[in-house]
Structure 1
Amino acid sequence: MKKMMLTQYGSVDVMQMIEVDIPKPAANQIVIQTAAIGVNDPDIMIRANGPFPTMPKEIKPVLPHSLGQDFSGIITAIGDDVTRFSVGDHVVGMAFMSAYSEYILLDESAVVATVPKELDLVPLGGFFLGVATAYGATIRDGQAKSGQKVLIHGGAGGVGSKAVQLAKNAGAYVIATGSAEQANYMKELGADETIDYQTEDFTKLVSDVDLVVNLTGPKTLENSYQVIKKGGRVTSVNALINQEETDRRGITGIYSMGFMTIEELKEVITLYSNGKLDVLVDKTYPFELEAIKQAHLDFEAGGNTGKKIIVFSK
């Protein structure tokens, strides 16, 4: 089988395609034939610069290693002790640093769940990481509820688009920031209001917000504290919370991590299956080295609306 590997960090040219044997499962393992994978910020950053300094030792990759987070696929083999899955199951989940591969080997206990077989596996390849990050920032840590006013920065991106939908499903009044070109898309996702971050100052347009979900970096986060009502919350996925500022204003700030339990994953799969959560596919790329390089370059160029997906041949 083909597998993409890194032996050093740097430009897209450090990625190499190698041939290895299809893995065989131990008693408690499953083998998944990969259908599609998402192109995600952690893969770009790790490929370019190596592991994040804040990564826990137990998940910090060591060269040589692959890349890849979320995936969809079909189970082709299971170990003798596996009870949660059967051969032929369609699944989605998380495979840290091992999804850039035609087959994925995981423990049965991994955060993986079955999906109805009638669902298209291509968009589901980019489902987990964006939804997990959005779920953590909006629902688990953000505690979005019916009747609240929620401001989501970066509402058209791979994570932001899920955050808008999750907040709306929770019954919140949703305000989303993005470009003018993304306004209609964010409204289609469920945003009640949109703000053009390029020409409008959100601090002059919103106030008394119950929750701010920050997906766009430290500068936006620093400007967001002032629009949150006392007792409100702010979550951030890519910039650290200023604890002194949140304490001074009487608000709760949480640096939110992109993970889900198996039960949470099943919950959002149900939303997706019922048409209440969508994954917009921006562009697809075949699982070939030059195409993977181009996917990384396109992602790095910015202005991402929806997900870039790498698709494996059947």
Structure 2
Amino acid sequence: MKKILLREYGSVDVLFERYEALPTIMENQLVVKLAATGVNDVDVAIRKNGFPATVLSKKKLPHSLGHEFSGIVTQVGKNVTKFKVGDHVIGLNPLDTYSENIVIDENAIIDKVPKELDLIPLGGLLVAALPAWSAVILEGKVKANQRVLIHGGAGGVGSMAIQFAKNAGAYVITTARARDKEYVESLGADEVIDYQNEDFEELVKDVDLVVHLVDKNTQDKSFSVIKSGGKLMSPSVVPDQEKAEQYNVEAKFIRGDTSSETRASIIDLYSNNKLSIHVDKIYPFSLEGVKTAHTDFEKGPNRGKKIIKFDE
């Protein structure tokens, strides 16, 4: 089987292709033939600079990249009870989804999905959806009629956060480029601020929650638009607790919740057409395809998800 790995950290030219034997499994493991994997900030950042402090799981070179996947179960160990050959699945397999096949424990982050769903967009669901769910639902605790400001609404996490907040009944404000106005409105945004030409501090006040997905400067400025007792949730930058105290705001750096309950809620919304994944572009699983996907991701702007598709 084909894998794409890193020989060192740097430009896309550090990526290389290698063929390995098909994986063998233990009694509680299964083999998944991958259908798709998403391109994410963490993959590009690790490829360029190695592991940031926020990444808990580190590997030695050479290692692969990729975190999320969709695919079909092709083999199960004799003690596996939750899955069978032919099941369509999605999951997380950190730093090992640039591979035609993966081995994963049945109790890892992997879930069955209905077979009628297209596996290609589903390969880009979890890395964006899990932190968005944590920010909006688990930690943000958004309720109907609350006001939510989402910075970077056109990106992968932002597009999910808009939909989760809207499903919860909130009034959703988001910052985006002017070119993305119609797109974020289609996701449910009630108000769109063109951050390149408008100052959100002048246009927004008394929000219950800020979901911060961009730079530190924007985060620091966001405290002033949150009502006293409100919240700021960020999976991208650790919030300044002195500012949080100054403005009487609960501010947290969050990671995506990976519990089975959260995953089931997200899959249920998607299966019932209450959640969509916008696929910006699809790339073939080849060395040049992966290089191009990374290059395009770095150039931006990124609307929704870029997906690497494996051969059928």
Q: If the length of structure 2 is used for normalisation, what is the TM-score?
A: 0.98
Paired residues for 1:1-314 under 5 Å? 1-56=1-56, 59-314=57-312
Q: Distance in 1 between matches of 2:52 and 2:231?
A: 26
Question: Deviating runs (4+, > 6 A) in structure 1?
Answer: none
Question: In 2, distance between residues paired with 1:54 and 1:308?
Answer: 23
Distance 2:55 2:149 in 1: 28
Equivalents in 2 of 1:106, 1:185: separation in Å? 36
**Secondary structure of 2:156's match?**
coil
- Tell me the secondary structure at the aligned position of residue 55 of structure 1: coil
Which sections of structure 2, spanning at least 5 residues, go unmatched? none
Backbone CA RMSD of aligned residues: 0.9
- In the alignment, the residues of structure 1 paired with residue 185 and residue 98 of structure 2 have an alpha-carbon distance, to the nearest angstrom, of 33
Could you tell me how far apart the structure 1 residues matched to 2:32 and 2:138 are?
29
Give the C-alpha shift of residue 88 in structure 1.
0.6
Q: Which amino acid in 1 is paired with 2:213?
A: L
Native 8 Å contact 1:235 1:255 kept in 2: yes
Amino acid at match of 2:83: F
Give, in whole Å, the separation in 2 of the partners of 1:263 and 1:30. 22
Instruction: For 2:66 and 2:206, locate their aligned partners in 1 and report how far apart those are by CA, in whole Å.
Output: 39
Contact 1:12 1:297 in 2 (8 A): yes
Aligned to 1:159, the other structure's residue is in SS state helix
Give, in angstroms, the shift of residue 210 of structure 1.
0.2
How many pairs align? 312
For 1:52, the aligned partner's letter is P
Q: How far apart are the structure 1 equivalents of 2:16 and 2:140?
A: 40
Q: What TM-score do the two structures reach when normalised by structure 1?
A: 0.98
TM-superposed deviation, 1:292: 0.6
CA distance in 1, matches of 2:131, 2:190: 22
**2:21 aligned partner, one-letter code:** D
C-alpha distance in 1 between matches for 2:55 and 2:174: 30
Deviation at 1:152, TM superposition (A): 0.2
Q: How far did residue 82 of structure 1 move?
A: 1.0
Moved more, 262-271 or 288-297: 262-271
Deviations 1:24-49 (A, max 9, x none): 22011111000000000000000110
Q: Which amino acid aligns with 2:38?
A: G
